[in-house]
Structure 1
Amino acid sequence: MSAIWLQIGQCGNQVGQEWWKLVSSEKVPDSAVNRYPFYTRDGKLSALSVDSEPKVVRRLLREVKTGSFRDSNILVGLRGRGNNWAFGYHGPQSEDETSLLHRAMASFRKEVERRDSYSGVILLHSLSGGTGSGLGARLCESIREEFPMGYILSVAIAPHQGGECPLQHFNSLLCLSWLQRYADGVLLFHNDDILRRMQASGGKKIEQVPALEPQISFSDMNTHIASCLAALMYPVRSLRTPSGVSIGLEPWELLRSVCPVPTTKFLYTSQVNKRGTASWDGMLSSIVRTLPRHSCTGKIHQSTAVLAVARGSGVDTFNRSLAPIMTKMKQGYGCVSWNPHPLNYWTDPWNIVDQTSPSQSLTICANHSSVSDYMQRVLEKARIMYDAHAYLHWYWKHGCEEGDFLQAFEILDSVVDEYSAAGDH
């Protein structure tokens, strides 16, 4: 039941680097028992790094020297993709560059063959960059076509609403529509949301400048995303086999828990970590307080399913107070009435998120209708640009067609409608 990790573009590779730091830490207990889902038999990480230019993956080359990252799984092109989805999806015209997709798929096939049992792939990528959005969408489509029985879980990072690139709304529109078509689930992280939560919590690794707001870097935000992934993906005791060995069920049990309807697959993740001994009820309250309550039209947000992962030395108290915690979670996340089993939970006595002892972390992943607010913003901004014919020539130039945009608008409109009607089933 092992997975393959595929890091695509600058953002995907930076998040991936932070993720592997946590997973491969020497502080992790029982690493030999828990390492199987992430390593092949020869001790190499079951991961691929793909980027259209070499500067971002240079740090990974150091990992190659230590023997953890397979050098043949670092696949780099010679030029970037110009922050353009069409350029990333179709690739440049020159023969030497069009091979990046083919090389990535060839390495992916070899990695599948190395695994005892291939169960799926986790994609790490952004929605706004040309490589992360365009090439990421193309790889997602290609993997679905070649390995239709395997799961595809996307970890997608949305750009700041204020703007990182003038093409980001088109890129996000097209990439989201491809993920809706080909992925089984999408862990959606929004940069603005992460920044707001980290500023509110005064999270670790934030430099405090007198008389100024805490300075939060992209590295801090990548670390936060990686810690959420570690909480959800790192082996938990409650999912181990009777032999005590993890076989990597976590990503796929996550999908089965929080994606009960195939048409609604975008997931909202929140996390609280406390050093020492903390109240689980208090940690849950701090998460629930940050939840978006109403849509821009005033409609109350609801959840079709929720998964809570409690890690740390106090999991026994979590289990003892399970009933009131589940009741509070069901109310706080506004679980829909038509799902008879909307809540699930996992526990593990080791806190991979913060490897100091004692510490506790509570991570909640929900299929929450607030994602429709982000989708609606992308649709509105992309439609304004499309109606004004802004930047479209850059997409036509690289092989995109009008039908790609029209289909993307239609797909995202249907996603917004599905989430709006989630509580009415």
Structure 2
Amino acid sequence: MSAVWLHVGQCGNQIGEEWWQSLTRENVPHAEADRYPFCSPDGKLSAICVDSEPKVVRKLQKQVKSGLAPNSSFRENNLIVGKRGRGNNWAYGYHGLHSASEKNLLERTMESLRKEVERRDCYCGTVLFHSFSGGTGAGLGSQLCEAIRDEYSLGQILTVTVAPHQAGESPLQHYNSLLCLSWLQRHVDGVLLFQNDAVLRRTAALLGKKAPVSDMQPQVSLSAMNTYVASCLAGLLYPLKAFTTGSGISVGMEPWELLRSACPMPTMRFLHIAQACKRQEWGLSHHEKSDSEPRAFPLREGGRCHMSLVTLSGWEKTSREHIACEGLICLGEEMTFRPTDSLNIVEPGCHSHSPTICANHGSSAELLQQVVARAEAMYETNAYLHWYWQYGYEEADFQQAFETLCSVADDYSRLGE
């Protein structure tokens, strides 16, 4: 794989911990051949971990190192940490500290990225993990996307982006979401979007947990939610044995192929992923045809599904063709099917079926409209704006962010009619 993997902020590094543990454990099928896309020739992981505080990054380093296969580890210079947080403030994360006592996180990250790019025989892009509700993941993540786009204009940028709970995680989250989403729209090629509320519900369903009261969220650990996100990414991005060359290297399906399949239009870059693991014979049409049962893959939440990619892990060829035909008939949308090996990527050693669906659909309009509406309500009352003005942000920047997201939401809504 021609990518460099970049984890930014607490959320990005916590998901990264689950991601690297799942990819580098020794019982992963075809591990030696398929580990190559995620490592440099010397065996070090092609990953850069960045946070404004050291705690999460150091925990990631410790946890992943203890479970790694031989000769795989993080490069010490790629673990970049600061000494102070960014106060859940996008502007603080974007512009950084005014003091010269702490070397700029952006400069250190770009230097590590340059070295990783030089180690790749063919660099095609960066995959960035972050959230858009806090300061480091949203603000520094936005600045990194902008800097990478300027420095490596021919490379592509795919982000794994986590949206906060709608109930609220921070008083500044609506501003942070507005500004980060507008930066992503301008500077990246695709956004794999995970919404915390949806991830919580799906994780609870997989674990068989129910909310104690109907209007309450089920009790699910943050680690379980991160594991679900990492599992979805593994089902979507793990290399394929079917495309292994004579040298034993799997060229597989790179993130850039995903972008070409599911992001054909420049204004529609927000992708949604869903996954299910079933240890019995199971078909996509089972949930799609029955109105009395919950749908495992909400492709049409809030609007029409425009483009989709389906990964089928754990199916033999005969049933794989059956599922593809059933899915095409049932879903009735333009879909690309990516059949993987009969071994299950998500649950190695289990005879289970793990379909993963990546869809570019109209529910993005609903999310963008909610972000704009809530940020506007705060902006009109001048709530918390002084926290942004003091770090160099201006009124014109807010207006541009509002216009950008409104335009994208209108495009999604119009095409989803």
Identify which range, 248-257 or 375-384, moves more after superposition: 248-257
Cα distance between partner residues in 1 of 2:407 and 2:166: 22
Q: Does 1:273 align with 2:282?
A: no
Q: Is the 8 A contact 2:241 2:252 kept in 1?
A: no
Pairing partner for 1:154 from 132, 152, 159: 159
Q: Is the 8 A contact 2:240 2:252 kept in 1?
A: no
Superimposed CA distance per residue, residues 45-86 of structure 1 (whole angstroms, 9 cap, x where no aligned partner): 000000000111121332458651111100000100000000
Q: Pick from 331, 348, 357: which aligns with 2:350?
A: 357
Distance 2:117 2:134 in 1: 27
Aligned partner letter, 2:321: N
| Matched ranges for 1:333-372 at <5 A | 335=333, 342-348=334-340, 349-372=342-365
Question: Residue 79 of structure 1 is aligned with which of 84, 90, 95?
Answer: 84
- Find out whether 1:318 has 2:325 as its counterpart: no
Give the superposed CA RMSD: 2.4
- Secondary structure in structure 2 of the residue aligned to 1:96: coil
Q: Decide which of 101, 106, 109 is 1:104's aligned counterpart.
A: 109
Distance 1:168 1:96 in 2: 28
Partner of 1:185: 190
CA distance in 2, matches of 1:423, 1:388: 33
Alpha-carbon displacement from aligned partner over 1:13-50 (angstroms, at most 9, x marks no partner): 00000001110121112111111110110001000000
Q: Kindly indicate whether the alpha-carbon contact (under 8 Å) linking 1:64 and 1:71 is maintained by their aligned counterparts in 2.
A: no
The answer to whether residue 389 in structure 2 is matched with residue 396 in structure 1 is: yes
Distance change in 2, residues 1:410/1:361 (3 Å): same
Q: Which amino acid aligns with 1:6?
A: L
Quote the residue 2:126 is aligned against.
Answer: 121
**Identity, % of aligned positions:** 51
Alignment: residue pair count:
407
- From 317, 327, 330, give the equivalent of 1:328: 330
1:229 correspondence with 2:233: yes
Q: Matched residues in 1 for 2:151 and 2:87: separation?
A: 28
* Other-structure match for 1:259: 263
SS of residue matched to 2:126: strand
Distance in 2, Cα, partners of 1:257 & 1:191: 25
Q: What amino acid does structure 1 have at the position aligned with 2:16? A: G
Q: State the Cα distance separating 1:328 from its structure 2 match.
A: 1.1
How far apart are 1:312 and its partner, in Å? 0.6
* Paired position in structure 1 for 2:407: 414
Q: Which amino acid aligns with 1:318?
A: R
Q: Determine the C-alpha separation between the residues in 1 that align with 2:285 and 2:246.
A: 31
Q: Deviations over 1:218-244 (max 9, x none)?
A: 111111110010011101245545765
| Higher alpha-carbon deviation: 233-242 or 382-391 | 233-242
Q: AA paired with 2:128?
A: L
For 2:245 and 2:369, locate their aligned partners in 1 and report how far apart those are by CA, in whole Å: 43
- Cα deviation for residue 280 of structure 1 reads 4.6
Q: Determine the structure 2 residue equivalent to 1:405.
A: 398
Amino acid paired to 1:306: S
Alignment correspondent of 1:291: 298
User: Would the aligned equivalents of 2:276 and 2:296 in 1 still touch at CA under 8 Å?
Assistant: no
Q: 1:170 to 1:318 in 2, by over 3 A?
A: same
Residue-by-residue CA offset, 1:354-385 (whole Å, 9 max, x unaligned): 12320110111011011111111100000000
Alignment of 1:32-51 (within 5 A): 32-51=32-51
TM-score, with length taken from structure 1: 0.90
- Structure 1 residues without counterparts, runs of 5 or longer: 296-300, 336-341
Out of 131, 135, 138, the position equivalent to 1:133 is 138
Q: Residue by residue, what CA displacement relative to the aligned partner does 1:154-179 show, whole Å, maximum 9, x if unpaired?
A: 11000000010000000000000000
After TM superposition, the structure 1 stretch with the greater mean CA deviation from structure 2, 60-69 or 114-123, is 60-69
CA distance in 2, matches of 1:248, 1:93: 45
Q: Give 2:167's aligned amino acid.
A: G
Tell me the amino acid that sits aligned with residue 291 of structure 1: P
Equivalent-residue separation in structure 2 for 1:260 and 1:210 (angstroms) = 42
Deviations 1:291-319 (A, max 9, x none): 27564xxxxx1122111000014453021
The answer to whether the 8 Å contact 2:50/2:79 transfers is: yes
Asked if the contact 1:276/1:357 (under 8 Å) is kept, the reply is no
8 Å contact from structure 2 (residues 11, 137) kept in 1: yes
CA deviation profile, 1:368-407 (whole Å, cap 9, x unmatched): 0111111111000000000100000000111111121111
Which TM-score applies when normalising by structure 2? 0.92
Aligned to 2:18: 18
Aligned equivalent of 2:97:
92
Aligned pairs for 1:198-213 (under 5 A) are 198-199=203-204, 201-203=205-207
Residue type of the partner of 2:225? M
